[in-house]
Structure 1
Amino acid sequence: MHIFYFHKYNRLRTYVGQQMNKKKRMVAYRKGNTEQLDAKRRKWSVFVLFSAIFICLVSTGIGGCGWKKTGVEKLRDLDYTVVGEAELPEELKTEIEARKAEDFKMTYLLDDALYIVHGFGMQETGGYSIQVQALYLAENAIYFETDLIGPENGAKVEKCVSYPYIVVKTERLTENVVFE
């Protein structure tokens, strides 16, 4: 690339591929010949940008290695029994009846036990079942995971509205319950 600049004696000279000293750069800049200077600035800007991105990636990668795992650490599984409607305390029965039309989650603490309830709201038909996937104690809470299983395809189902819910009884614990 040829750079034309004016020497101090006003003679036009060509500068090919060598470093210009500061004085010559200033002469080139004043005379409007900024192509080489702009190219250097662009190269420097790209270098700085990629260096900053690299430093950010490396620092987050290194910092991420020493962090505590974000998953929930299970301390132990909890023993439970699924409670039928006949065995429910009266106060809990009335609370379930009041909430059963909508999806709801609640706990009920009695003297000797903790009742965990998950209702799935109004369903168009019968034939639903609820499966407990997990009930365990973690460091900061009790985790309760259930799945609503719909009627099988082709199975005969009642064409009446149903309100599926499950009540689980476990040992008395005062930790918060997290429904998953």
Structure 2
Amino acid sequence: MKGRRILCIFAVAALLLSGCGARRADMDKKGDLEYETACGPDLPETLRQKIEEEKAEPFLAAYGDGQRLYIALGYGEQESAGYSIQIEEVYETEDAVFIRTCLTGPDEGEEVAQEADCPWTALATGYTEKRILWEM
């Protein structure tokens, strides 16, 4: 009986550890992903509506039409205008698309509107059903 309990504990530990290993493999870069930035009029209406609904909070939204994949992301409401999002890296892993971005604020001393703003950006790439991982 005691032997079965130990075997069961080792089996559960092995499953948990193998799951962690699989998660780590998601980050292994397979190659850069070609993309282009997309602005409001270039985006599908469904995605534009989703952006409007979600932009006050940090969000990641995607829309695929079978040929193109559109990905929009935003950092939520900022205290003033003058913020922008830089896309630093976009690449594929075995089963995911990985996007790394950075939010930049206005330069010191730069005059900007003192009303809240919700910066977001979007990109378009070839269609894939891979999941999307975003690092802010």
Work out which of the residue numbers 35, 46, 68 in structure 2 matches 1:91: 46
Give the number of equivalent residue pairs.
Answer: 113
Q: Deviations over 1:62-88 (max 9, x none)?
A: xxxxx9xx5632111011111111211
Distance (Å, rounded) in 1 between the aligned partners of 2:28 and 2:55: 32
AA of the residue aligned to 1:178: L
1:172 aligns with 2:119: no
For residues 155 and 176 of structure 1, the distance between their equivalents in structure 2, rounded to whole angstroms, comes to: 38
Offset, 1:136:
0.4
Task: Report whether the alignment pairs 1:116 with 2:96.
Answer: no
Residue 128 of structure 1 aligns to which amino acid in structure 2?
Answer: Y
Q: 1:75: which partner in 2?
A: 30
CA displacement at 1:111 relative to structure 2: 2.6
CA contact (8 A) 2:47 2:62 kept: no
Corresponding position of 2:60: 105
1:91: Cα distance to partner? 1.1
Q: Percent identity?
A: 35
Give the Cα–Cα distance (whole angstroms) in 2 for the partners of residues 140 and 86 of structure 1: 30
The TM-score normalised by the length of structure 2 is: 0.77
Q: In the alignment, what sits opposite 2:97?
A: 142
Cα RMSD for the two superposed structures = 1.7
**Residue type at the aligned position of 1:119:** G
Q: Deviations over 1:26-80 (max 9, x none)?
A: xxxxxxxxxxxxxxxxxxxxxxxxxxxxxxxxxxxxxxxxx9xx56321110111
Scaled by the length of structure 1, the TM-score of the pair is 0.59
Determine the C-alpha separation between the residues in 2 that align with 1:160 and 1:76.
40
Moved over 3 A (4+): none
Structure with bigger gyration radius: 1
Name which structure has the greater RCO, CA cutoff 8 Å, separation 6+. Answer: 2
Whole-Å separation in 2 of the counterparts to 1:73 and 1:161: 38
Q: Deviations over 1:70-111 (max 9, x none)?
A: 563211101111111121111111111111111111211113
